[in-house]
Amino acid sequence: MPAVEGAAPSVDGERIQVEEARARRDSAHDRRFGWLLKLCALLVLAALLGATLVTLTGGWSAFSTYGWHFLVDATWHPDSQHPDDPSTNVFGALVPIVGTLVTSLIALVLAVPFSFGIALFLSEVAPRWLRTPVTSAIELLAGIPSIIFGMWGLLIFAPFFQAHAKPWIDSHLGVDPDTNQPSWIAAHIPLVGKLLEDTRPFGGSVLTAGIVLAIMILPFISSVMREVFQTVPTRLKESAYALGSSTWEVAWDIMLPYTRAAVIGGIFLGLGRALGETMAVTLIIGNSMDLSPSLLDQGATISSTIANQFSEAAGLQKSSLMALAFLLFVVTFIVLLIARLMLRRLAAKEGN
């Protein structure tokens, strides 16, 4: 025993030394790990900055040739024989910008309520055995490549829409294309007739592209919503139920306010995808560069225009496409900015 007692201080000293070395090592590790994380974050920033700069420099000759007209002009007139001649090449981004915003808006208007329903069903209403299969089905939907959605949209949905949905829209909401007979709604509410004018017997349109986009962004929004709904404390919900609230009241008055920031974040995640979606939209939207007020007419989005024309473009046309890509950055940035401002105003309203 004494032998052990005598040895104790030196063991303690050793231990202290070992611990100090370990602490030093740990702090070095922590520093290095911190740098690594910083590098990851900076890499994203660098990529974003690089992409912005490349599109801006690539699009510079279009911006400097057409000035602010590029933003408001609906002409898209390439001259592939003389690609650098500004007198014969006239480009304006209005049609693709409007197409991008309108298709994304349609997608959001359709996808958000459905996603809310799905998320609510999965977190509140569905029996336990049904939750896993439906959740995995939605996640699978998110994994389908967009070209598949495009093919489905072009080969199955567009013909279906043409054969079944359009006749109903024409006779109940719009104007009959053969007889020019407006429906009651088109005759009594201004602009509806123009908004739903059926100019061509083709199912592919701005509206159909928006619907397909809605299906594509649905899984993103609904899975975010479902996950944040599960973070709502059970005692809050159960208290509300105990006071006699219906499921709808619990969802609308308890769950949604509690998760508002995350839900809006999820919606904007979906919106981001809708704004940039390329292949599916290119196949369905009909690729017309004419400005039309009708949702049933064909149109173009920023990304579909780039996908269509980039490979054969030269000179000013190529530069205009680069400028379009830059504008997509700007549009996305503005949309995200609006989202942030909205969240801040909501937070201020609640007094946080």
Partner 1 sequence: MLTTNKLSSSISKLAAVAFITAGALFGTVAQATDITGAGSSFVYPVISKWSAAYAGKTGNQLNYQSIGSGAGIAQIKEGTIDFGASDAPMSGDDLQKYGLGQFPSVVGGIVPVVNIPGVAAGQIKLDGETLADIFLGKITNWNDPKIAALNAGVALPAKKITVVHRSDGSGTSFNFTNYLSKVSTDWASKVKFGTAVEWPTGVGGKGNEGVSQYVRQIPGSIGYVEYAYAVKNKISWVDLKNAAGNFVAPSAAAFAAAASTADWTSAKDFNVIMTNAPGAQAWPITATTWVIMYKKSKNPEHTKVAFDFFKWALESGQQEAAALDYVPLPDTLVKQIEAYWTSDFKN
Task: List residues binding partner 1 (CB under 8 A).
Answer: 75-81, 154-155, 158-159, 162, 177, 200-204, 282-283, 286-290, 298, 307-309, 311-314, 317
Minimum Å distance from CB 77 to partner 1?
4
In the bound state with partner 1, the residue whose beta carbon lies nearer, of 164 and 188, is 164
Write the DSSP string, 176-243: -TTT--B-HHHHHSTTHHHHT---SS-S-SHHHHHHHHHHHHHHHHHHHHHHHHTTS-HHHHHHHHHT
Token pair belonging to 265: 């974040």
Residues 6+ apart with CB under 8 A from 73: 66, 90, 91, 92, 93, 94
Identify any residues that bridge with 77 across adjacent strands, giving them in sequence order.
90
Minimum Å distance from CB 299 to partner 1?
10
- Pairing of the two strands 90-91 and 76-77: antiparallel
In the bound state with partner 1, the residue whose beta carbon lies nearer, of 123 and 298, is 298
DSSP 278: -
In the bound state with partner 1, the residue whose beta carbon lies nearer, of 253 and 290, is 290
In the bound state with partner 1, the residue whose beta carbon lies nearer, of 263 and 313, is 313
CB of 280 within 8 A of CB of 213?
Answer: yes
Minimum Å distance from CB 258 to partner 1?
46
Residues 6+ apart with CB under 8 A from 50: none
Minimum Å distance from CB 209 to partner 1?
12
Minimum Å distance from CB 200 to partner 1?
5
The H or E element containing residue 14 is helix 2-58
76-110 b/e (C-beta count within 10 Å ≥ 16 → b): bebbeeebeebeebbbbbbbbbbbbebbbebbbeb
Minimum Å distance from CB 181 to partner 1?
16
Minimum Å distance from CB 82 to partner 1?
9
In the bound state with partner 1, the residue whose beta carbon lies nearer, of 194 and 200, is 200
**Distance set, CA 151 to CA 156, 208, 233 (Å):** 8, 13, 43
In the bound state with partner 1, the residue whose beta carbon lies nearer, of 123 and 282, is 282
In the bound state with partner 1, the residue whose beta carbon lies nearer, of 110 and 169, is 169
